[in-house]
Structures are given as C-alpha cells and as structure tokens.
Structure 1
Amino acid sequence: MTANPNTAMVLAAGLGKRMRPITDTMPKPLVKIAGKTLLDWSLDSLARANVKKAIVNVHYFPEQVVAHIAARRAPQVVISDESEILLESAGGIVKALPKLGKEPFYVINADTFWIDNGASSLDRLALAWDASTMDILLMLADLQSATGHSGGTDFLVGLDGALRRSKGDPEGLIYAGAAIIHPRVFKDAPTGPHSLNAYFDTAIAAGRLFGMKMHGRWITVGTPDAIPLAEAAAAGVLTETP
C-alpha cells in the first residue's frame, strides 16, 4: 500500500464488565490513562496516521461517548449506533460497512493502546499491506513489550509473515488490537452478533492472514488493577530519552 487507509473502525461498544465498578457509570473507552481516555489514545493514533474518518460503534452509555467525541476535529468521527443490540467485533464492522467504504481500513480496539518506539505502527502496517496476498494484516506484540496482558500468545509468524494460531506457545506473539482488513472478507457475512476470530481462521486457512510486530510498548487495560500498571508504563515510556 502506498498510502495509509483513509478510514478506520474503532471498536468501542463493549460492556467492560471486568472493569466494574468503574464501568457501572461510564463506558470503558472513556477510562483515562495518563490523562487521556482510551478512546482518545486510539483516535490520536489514527490522526497521526492521517486517517480522515473513524467509525466508532457505541452501545453502553452511548450518549457519553457521543458527547465526548463532539469536540474532536481529527479524524472526523462517525457514530455507528448499536444501542439496540451489541453486535460484537465482526458484527459491529458489518453494520458499519456502508460507512467504511470499499477500500481496506484500519480496525482498532478501544481498550488497548500503544506507544511507538520509532516509526508509527499504523504507518508500518500500511507499508506492509499487500492486498494481492493479504485479506487481514494484524499488528502484533511480544510478551516482553506488553503491559496488563494476563493471557498467552495468539499467533506464530512464518518466515513470509503469514500467521497460524500459536495455542499459547511462548514463542508466539499477541494480537495487539490493531489491523488492516479488506472489506471483501465480509462478503455474505451475517448481520447479527459475531466475532472477528472466525474471519482470522478463514484467512489462515486461505493463507491470507499476516502479521507485523510493533516496536514499542503495548498496553491493555482489562480490569481496574490494570490502570496503575498502564499509568506507570505510559509515564515510563513517555519520559524515556532516546
């Protein structure tokens, strides 16, 4: 790809049950880390990557998200309203496809963020993207670069960058909550709630799921206990000198 995708899908509709009691009164994407909401960490990364339009799906306390993003200028934020039913990751994307267009787009999870060391990870994803060989390109992180991650790894990377499931193999990498996806993968997709994982597996079977390891610190915030870890990691990385 010679230029970054112009559009992005920010997955921000989840219930954040593990973040209770904080999420009893607010949606998880509005939890602040280092003075910035998780949602703004995502949107700021997209703005730096010159994304023009971000589709943000909402379900839980949707009016809070709508009010929060009202003051943003870049990227342009378009709300995809899932108030009636929570559609999960892939279902949310399928609903938003008319807004996303026919070109490859970024997908960002609003409960994780990262601080790049060097070139922008989203810029590097765009440079690595090859629509002729890929349907999905995932940003990946190693366990040593992750803060707040309590699980194992997700994928093993082949010499050509193609992915297969790692089944927790410590040599594997973690899906870091950012990707480029071609909308063709959602052709004939169901409209109800369903997960992106099925599309990952379909792409693996076709040899069209690829990955790129990020450089920097990847931070996931799943529970209240993860907030001070995330704060410390963000502060530590932001104050480091090259």
Structure 2
Amino acid sequence: MSTPPPTALILAAGRGERMRPLTDATPKPLLRVRGKRLIEWHLEALARAGVREVVINTAWLEEQFPAALGDGARWGLSIRYSTEGRDHGGALETAGGMKKARRWLSDPFWVVSGDVHVPDFGFDATLVDDVVASGQWARLWLVDNPPHHPQGDFGIRDGLADRDARPRLTWSSIGLFRHTFVDELMATLPVGTKAPLRPYLEAAIDRRRLGAERHAGRWTDVGTPERLADLDAAGG
C-alpha cells in the first residue's frame, strides 16, 4: 500500500455505568467475551491488518490496562496509553480524547471504541488509501440500528454522511480520521478539555467532508450485562 500503516486510537476511558456492577471492578473493554477481553478482539484485528502502533485512552481503573495488555508485544504491536485519569482527573469523552492523543497518531488514523464487538471488520489497508485519495476529513462505518438506538445517527448520500438521508443508520464507533479533522474542527478545543465528538462530526457533514459506508457484518454495542451475556452465549 502507498500510505504507511496507520496508527489506531482505541477509546477505553469511560466509566461504563450501564454495565455495573461488572464495571465496578473492571473497565468495560477488559471484560471477556468468548474467552478474550473485548479490547483484545480489536488488537488482534488491527495487528492482522498491518497496524503496528496503538494508542489506548484510559481513565476509569486505568492502571488495569497496562497490567492486562502490557506494551502490546504479544500481538506484534506497540501500545501507548493516553492517561486521562492521571493527567486530567477523568475521561475527556471522544473528542477530548482524540485531541489529547493527536500528537501520537498517524495521518490518517483508525478510531474504534473499546466496548463494541465487531469481529467481521478487517481494518483493511486499502480503506486507508481510499480515504486519503477522497479528500474526506474522516470516514465512518454505519450499521443497522440496534433495538436500543432505533433513531440512528446519520444517513448516507453520495458516499457522505448526511443528516437527512434515509435510512438513518447508527455509527458503529469505527472510523478513519485525518489530522485535518482535528486540526481544523477542534482548533479552539484546548488539550485536556472534556468534549463530545458529535458536534464535530456534524461540522464535518456541513462541510461535506465526512464520508460514510455501511458495515453489514456482525456488530454489538456491549452496553449492558445482558448484551454481554447474550453475545457470550451466541458463540461463533
């Protein structure tokens, strides 16, 4: 591939309130499904795709991440931890976490939430080249709306995310982002500031710079103990 292998940002800083009591003692991305920690599914997939550097942002019980995952060498990865709890007193949300980690991330870089299970997504290197060639500032992968999010997030029109296009789909929490997305849209956001991503995604939509594709493979937002148990029981 012409573009160097990207880095990846795995979002793992949240408290996981809806997963209590499981998350009282364990961060949600370190909970196990089918014998592996949720985050390990991502690490394995990223390594298979040729990614070699991963940043994991942490806050809640953040000392457990390096204890469980180490430096990433067992997957052929180099893991850096962006410690929002230690440095800022708590999780910075998605945009805040992205802004803090920006200095360690390639252009473009993958983003994936540590609490989704998406075993069919390959983090294909050709997608990286395509986003670079497209002029998009970011590209999201959207999935069919789960029962707990029936209204969806965005539609797709002409390969771009759209507020009004139908059907509305749900962001899978997987995306490829260019530095331009952070540098242009988050220019006035101070590092260490807590901020959600949604307003910045909508700003990119308004500039027609936010690409979107549909992911038809398996995907689960592991947001409750019941969903985790169902996923574990389903096997495969």
TM-score class, shorter-chain normalisation, is 0.7 to 0.9
Q: Which residue of 1 aligns with 2:149?
A: 151
Q: Deviations over 1:216-239 (max 9, x none)?
A: 111110011111222244x1xx3x
Q: Which residue of 1 aligns with 2:228?
A: 227
CA contact (8 A) 1:109 1:177 kept: yes
The one-letter amino acid of 1:75's match is L
Q: Which residue of 2 aligns with 1:89?
A: 94
Unaligned 5+ segments in structure 2 are none
Q: Deviations over 1:67-113 (max 9, x none)?
A: 01116323211011111232111101111111114x11000100102
Q: Which residue of 1 aligns with 2:56?
A: 56
CA contact (8 A) 1:89 1:194 kept: yes
Q: Which residue of 2 aligns with 1:114?
A: 118
Q: Which residue of 2 aligns with 1:138?
A: 140
CA contact (8 A) 1:4 1:123 kept: no
Q: Which residue of 2 aligns with 1:178?
A: 174
Q: Which residue of 1 aligns with 2:29?
A: 29
Aligned-pair identity in percent equals: 33
Q: Which residue of 2 aligns with 1:217?
A: 218
Q: Deviations over 1:144-174 (max 9, x none)?
A: xx5xx5112211111x21111259x6x2221
Q: How many residues align?
A: 225
TM-fit CA distance, 1:45: 1.7
Does residue 98 (structure 1) correspond to residue 103 (structure 2)? The answer is: yes
TM-score (norm 1): 0.85
Q: Deviations over 1:163-204 (max 9, x none)?
A: 11259x6x2221111100011222214120101111111110
> RMSD in angstroms over aligned alpha carbons?
2.1
Unaligned 5+ segments in structure 1 are none
Does residue 41 (structure 1) correspond to residue 41 (structure 2)? The answer is: yes
CA contact (8 A) 1:4 1:126 kept: no
User: Cα 1:11–1:126, aligned 2, differ >3 Å: closer, same or farther?
Assistant: same
CA contact (8 A) 2:41 2:119 kept: no
TM-score (norm 2): 0.87
CA contact (8 A) 2:60 2:90 kept: no
Q: SS in structure 2 opposite 1:115? A: coil
Q: Deviations over 1:126-159 (max 9, x none)?
A: 254145520110011124xx5xx5112211111x
User: Cα 1:104–1:71, aligned 2, differ >3 Å: closer, same or farther?
Assistant: closer
User: Cα 1:176–1:68, aligned 2, differ >3 Å: closer, same or farther?
Assistant: same
CA contact (8 A) 1:104 1:181 kept: yes
TM-fit CA distance, 1:2: 4.3
CA contact (8 A) 1:125 1:212 kept: no
TM-fit CA distance, 1:212: 1.4
Q: SS in structure 2 opposite 1:80? A: strand
Q: 2:160 aligns with which of 152, 159, 162?
A: 162
User: Cα 1:75–1:174, aligned 2, differ >3 Å: closer, same or farther?
Assistant: same
Does residue 72 (structure 1) correspond to residue 68 (structure 2)? The answer is: no
